[in-house]
Chains A and B, each alone.
Chain A
Amino acid sequence: MSGYLLERVRWAAAAYADYDRPTVAAIVAAASAAACTASERLAAAAVAETRMGVAADKAERNRACALAKQDDFVSPRIDASRKVVALPRPAGVVVAHVPATDPVAAVYSTVLSALMTRNAAVVVPDPRAASCITEAAELLAGAAVNAGAPDGIVQVTEEPLTADVEVTHSPGNVPVLVDATADISAAARRIADSKAFDNSLLPTSESVLIAEGAIADALRTAIGDCGGRLLDEDEVRRLRGYLFPDGHLKAEAVGRDAAWIADQAGLRVAPKTRVLVAPLDLVISEEPLAHATPAPVLGMVTAADADRGIRAARAVVRIGGPAHAAVVHSENPGVVADFAAHLPVRQVAVNAGGNSLDAELSPHQLLTWTRIAYAADAPMPSFADVSPWRSPTGPVPAYPRASNDPETSR
């Protein structure tokens, strides 16, 4: 039973689909401002509720995801030379399954993307973070409606439902390749920072580090200088035993910091340790540390050369299922191009941390374009001042006053 949530949100989506650019911009700005203001408070609330991650990192990420996106996904796009006008059309209702690992930022990002593109959003919270997710979604909903968005444009429900677009924020298996040409110390610092950020809860956080053999030792040392702790064979065995007691990741370890995990696994590490680096022989599916681990634990393999490194990176994505992103550290554009060409991912970061990537959906995924095309030999009139969209002047829907009510300004 949907309880008519979906029916109501369809009414809202249909109304919003006709809004014009200035009103959409005002709605997005209002929601964005509300999101910004609550970034720190909701970050702390998320950590308190889930006991995962780092409040300061979450606050930073919340602020980044809350930033007002002023891209125009409303106005018709005119290509006079090709005589084509393209009208953006929202998909309708976006259902976002929001994980406990990255709750508030995921709400911010999805809801703002939906609002930018004139879609309605239904947020389905992970029960472990239901209250901070609900609070974030209702905050944005209220701000949007106060700025003129239709009633019910953002909804929260714990019931499973499907609609026009489904957004899941599942962790991806992200390989990071460091080749022989890379700036080793910079690469080590970025990898350690990214892996430690929010205790590795971001879906774009690196899973497996692949080092070209020639620089592997130097890289290990450099990561050690950045708070990484290289484990020996016995320590890897103990870590694996703790993290994956029955082959599955122990839930209590998700989003915990490196020192806490080391302690639980019976490893002695320095208190300032930020990342546990586990050397692996091979990237194979039965090796749990070769999969995405939402904790500051990084598998590491070496490859004899860049080509073999790229094949190892492909293996990381292959065994991990659909991936969001991959990272390469290299000064050789040929390697970068080969890496990007051979990895089935949407984004490749170069000489950057995985946490710098935008894991969230792109607004483009929430739109279709209706193309108005004129015949090649016919003139196309100017569409410069033409827009089919209209925004209402009052609340949507209007409150149902009696038609003979003098207040009815119709």
Chain B
Amino acid sequence: MYDYGTFSFESKSEVLARAKTFWNPDKTRFWIDSGVDLVIDRREGYFLWDMSSRRLIDMHLNGGTYNLGHRNPEVMEAISQGMAHFDIGNHHFPSVARTALAQRLVETAPPSISKVAFGSGGGEAIDIALKSARHATGRRKIISIIKAYHGHTGLAVATGDDRFAKLFLADRPDEFIQVPFGDIDAMEHALARGDVAAVIMETIPATYGFPLPPPGYLEATKQLTERYGALYIADEVQTGLMRTGEMWAITKHGIDPDIIVTGKGLSGGMYPITAVLLSDRAARWLDEDGFGHISTFGGAELGCVAGVKTLEITTRPEVRSMVHYIADLFADGLRRVQADHPDWLVGIRQNGVVIGLEFDHPEGAKFVMRELYENGVWAIFSTLDPRVLQFKPGILLGRDLCEDVLDRLEVAVGRAEAAARAGASR
């Protein structure tokens, strides 16, 4: 008997059966077939527990949602206190919580940023960013990279991979242009006609397996947007919030973007809220028609409370220093693992604790994911490049747990290599 207060289940198999019946049969089946029969029960810090009570170290973090660990005590306390006063709030009115979070976000951002608009999910925030760019430029076209992933809402999904756009007939190739990542000539060719509203780019494209931008690529892209009158939108949903050792990864490139999009870890994984950080140029619609984008849950006040606390924690000098230590330890440890498996772990893509591990097999990361799962670590393959494992340490990890994870990874990488070479692909 699993009693969760407002509901209960007899067993894990009952949950899986009902998930297929009432929720998402394909997704439920997919994970069972993948050898990851996970139904997350308890969670705390960087640990998850399956309903079977098996403990997993979370190196997925839902793309940084759990940057500060699961149920971070300081964030929980802030929300608990907040609940004594706030609810979602009324989105039409100025609000203490939204104003406070907006101000703090602007204060953390590069100097180009002056205003904040809020959403409730990443896709909505991307849509706001794209709409802001269209309003600012009076142009429709949006450039993204091939294999981009910016979410699943109306405009966001059109920027991304066909797999998700075409499924719902949401692809719009006339307005949404895709160029190969890292190809600055293709970028210029797409921009040169002067009819592009914005280039949108994850600073390191997560779902594509964290390929690192070639040196100078983002800088050159930013210059091209300036030359051709387009806006530069930095999607920092996975790379922001200190994951690269700085608050926003884009500042490590010396770029002052026109728009920054953030979400996921913004509220410590405790309340859905996202934000679009806008420059004066991108924020013009907020002066012209402040009701231009309406979202009942966007900028919900409890989410803002969680966001203010999360930002406060994330920007502590101690935390920044820890991220550098964690990144340094993993850099050394991963090189060690690679040295043992040079023909299997063929690439380490790392910037801070944004890490992609590239394996020499079209679905290499799925083998490693499975072996890691067997070894008590949860890390996920990259949806749009399953050769690459997304390997995402939290920013508050202690050294002991980092060493523990590396020990487990070393074993899993070796076993996955044997399994893949034996042709045990499913």
Binding site for B on A (CB under 8 A): 1, 3-5, 7-8, 10-12, 14-15, 151-152, 396-406, 410
Q: In the complex the two chains form, is B351's CB within 8 Å of A400's CB?
A: yes
In Å, the complex CA distance between A12 and B396 comes to 14
Tell me whether A11 and B331 are in contact in the complex, defined as CB-CB below 8 angstroms, given that A400-B351, A401-B351, A403-B348 are known contacts: no
In Å, the complex CA distance between A8 and B399 comes to 10
8 residue pairs of the A-B complex, CB under 8 angstroms, read A3-B316, A3-B318, A4-B396, A8-B322, A398-B324, A402-B213, A403-B348, A405-B215
Find chain B residues with CB under 8 A from A14 CB.
399
Chain B's interface size range is: 20 to 34
Find chain A residues with CB under 8 A from B313 CB.
4
Choose one: B215, B244, B324; the contact of A397 (CB below 8 Å): B324
Tell me whether A5 and B350 are in contact in the complex, defined as CB-CB below 8 angstroms, given that A396-B328, A400-B324, A410-B331 are known contacts: no
Mask: chain B, 314-334; 1 = CB below 8 Å from A; 0 = not: 001011011111111101000
Closest to B249 in A: A402
Q: In the complex the two chains form, is B350's CB within 8 Å of A1's CB?
A: no
Q: In the complex the two chains form, is A8's CB within 8 Å of B318's CB?
A: yes
13 more A-B contacts (CB under 8 A) besides A3-B316, A151-B321? Answer: A5-B318, A7-B398, A11-B321, A151-B325, A396-B328, A397-B329, A398-B331, A400-B245, A400-B324, A400-B350, A400-B351, A403-B212, A403-B350
Mask: chain B, 131-160; 1 = CB below 8 Å from A; 0 = not: 000000000000000000000000000000
Find chain A residues with CB under 8 A from B319 CB.
4, 8
Mask: chain B, 243-254; 1 = CB below 8 Å from A; 0 = not: 011000000100
Q: In the complex the two chains form, is A397's CB within 8 Å of B335's CB?
A: no
Nearest-Cβ distance from residue A309 to partner chain B, whole angstroms: 53
Closest to B253 in A: A402
Q: In the complex the two chains form, is B323's CB within 8 Å of A400's CB?
A: yes
- Contacts between the two chains (Cβ within 8 Å), count: 79
Tell me whether A400 and B327 are in contact in the complex, defined as CB-CB below 8 angstroms, given that A7-B398, A406-B215, A410-B335 are known contacts: yes
In Å, the complex CA distance between A397 and B349 comes to 18
Nearest-Cβ distance from residue B402 to partner chain A, whole angstroms: 9
- The residues in B between 300 and 324 inclusive whose CB is less than 8 angstroms from any CB of A are 313, 316, 318-319, 321-324
Q: Please tell me if B352 contacts chain A, counting CB pairs below 8 Å.
A: yes
Q: In the complex the two chains form, is B328's CB within 8 Å of A402's CB?
A: no
Most chain A CB within 10 A, of B321, B325, B396, is at B325
Find chain A residues with CB under 8 A from B245 CB.
399-400
Find chain A residues with CB under 8 A from B214 CB.
404
Find chain A residues with CB under 8 A from B87 CB.
none
Tell me whether A4 and B350 are in contact in the complex, defined as CB-CB below 8 angstroms, given that A397-B328, A402-B212, A404-B215 are known contacts: no
Nearest-Cβ distance from residue B211 to partner chain A, whole angstroms: 9
Q: In the complex the two chains form, is B212's CB within 8 Å of A7's CB?
A: no
Q: Which 9 A-B pairs have the closest CB atoms?
A: A397-B328, A400-B245, A11-B325, A400-B352, A8-B318, A400-B327, A402-B351, A397-B324, A4-B318
Q: In the complex the two chains form, is B328's CB within 8 Å of A400's CB?
A: yes
Find chain A residues with CB under 8 A from B374 CB.
none
Nearest-Cβ distance from residue A142 to partner chain B, whole angstroms: 14
Find chain B residues with CB under 8 A from A11 CB.
321-322, 325-326, 398-399
Choose one: B322, B327, B335, B351; the contact of A4 (CB below 8 Å): B322
Closest to A11 in B: B325
Q: Please tell me if B74 contacts chain A, counting CB pairs below 8 Å.
A: yes
Tell me whether A398 and B316 are in contact in the complex, defined as CB-CB below 8 angstroms, given that A10-B398, A403-B350 are known contacts: no
Find chain B residues with CB under 8 A from A8 CB.
318-319, 321-322, 325
Nearest-Cβ distance from residue B350 to partner chain A, whole angstroms: 4
Most chain B CB within 10 A, of A8, A14, A15, A405, is at A8
Most chain B CB within 10 A, of A1, A398, A400, A404, is at A400
Q: In the complex the two chains form, is B318's CB within 8 Å of A152's CB?
A: yes
In Å, the complex CA distance between A8 and B316 comes to 11
In Å, the complex CA distance between A15 and B212 comes to 28
In Å, the complex CA distance between A410 and B351 comes to 13
Nearest-Cβ distance from residue A73 to partner chain B, whole angstroms: 22
Find chain B residues with CB under 8 A from A4 CB.
313, 316, 318-319, 322, 396
Q: In the complex the two chains form, is B331's CB within 8 Å of A10's CB?
A: no
Q: In the complex the two chains form, is A400's CB within 8 Å of B244's CB?
A: yes
Nearest-Cβ distance from residue A157 to partner chain B, whole angstroms: 10
- The residues in B between 324 and 363 inclusive whose CB is less than 8 angstroms from any CB of A are 324-329, 331, 335, 348-353
In Å, the complex CA distance between A285 and B402 comes to 54
In Å, the complex CA distance between A151 and B319 comes to 12
Q: In the complex the two chains form, is A404's CB within 8 Å of B349's CB?
A: yes
Q: In the complex the two chains form, is B74's CB within 8 Å of A399's CB?
A: no
In Å, the complex CA distance between A261 and B52 comes to 73
In Å, the complex CA distance between A318 and B270 comes to 56
Nearest-Cβ distance from residue B112 to partner chain A, whole angstroms: 22
Find chain A residues with CB under 8 A from B213 CB.
402
In Å, the complex CA distance between A404 and B399 comes to 25
Closest to A2 in B: B318
Nearest-Cβ distance from residue B415 to partner chain A, whole angstroms: 25
In Å, the complex CA distance between A398 and B74 comes to 29
Nearest-Cβ distance from residue B29 to partner chain A, whole angstroms: 36
Closest to B212 in A: A404
Nearest-Cβ distance from residue B327 to partner chain A, whole angstroms: 4
Q: In the complex the two chains form, is B321's CB within 8 Å of A402's CB?
A: no
Closest to B349 in A: A403
Mask: chain B, 207-244; 1 = CB below 8 Å from A; 0 = not: 00000111100000000000000000000000000001
Q: In the complex the two chains form, is B212's CB within 8 Å of A152's CB?
A: no
Choose one: A7, A399, A402; the contact of B318 (CB below 8 Å): A7
